[in-house]
Amino acid sequence: MKETKEEMEPVIKLLEEIKSKFDAFRYPKKYYRNNDLKKLFGMSDNTICTYRDKNIIPFSKIGEIYYYPIADIDTLLSKNSNFDLFGNRY
């Protein structure tokens, strides 16, 4: 019986990974965190802090963690774009 449990462990891990990926689709992310802004937009820590301090980007803070609403960031990007000049309105 012990061998069966050990044999099933990799299968269980794989199923858990698959479940977490499906959960990401079922429960879409609503907030960016600092690392998301850095990776997606190439922002530095100092830029993020400056934008927060000048109220350029909306945020919430819980403890020491900052959260940035994805919908609001998308709206901000759209309002500050020049896409309409090129006929590529998103």
Please list the pLDDT of the chain residue by residue as tens digits (90 residues). 566 778 888 888 888 888 877 766 666 779 999 999 999 999 999 999 999 999 999 999 999 999 999 999 988 888 888 877 776 555
Which residue ranges make up each domain of the chain? Answer: 2-86
The predicted structure's pLDDT at residue 88: 57
Secondary structure letter of residue 64 according to DSSP: T
Residue 67 phi/psi, 5-degree rounding, is -125, 135
The predicted structure's pLDDT at residue 47: 96
Going 70 to 75 to 80 to 84, the CA torsion angle's sign is positive
Residues 69, 31: contact at Cβ < 8 Å?
yes
The predicted structure's pLDDT at residue 24: 63
| Residue 11 to residues 7, 15, 19, Cα–Cα distance (Å) | 8, 6, 12
User: How far, in Å, CA of 56 to CA of 49, rounded?
Assistant: 10
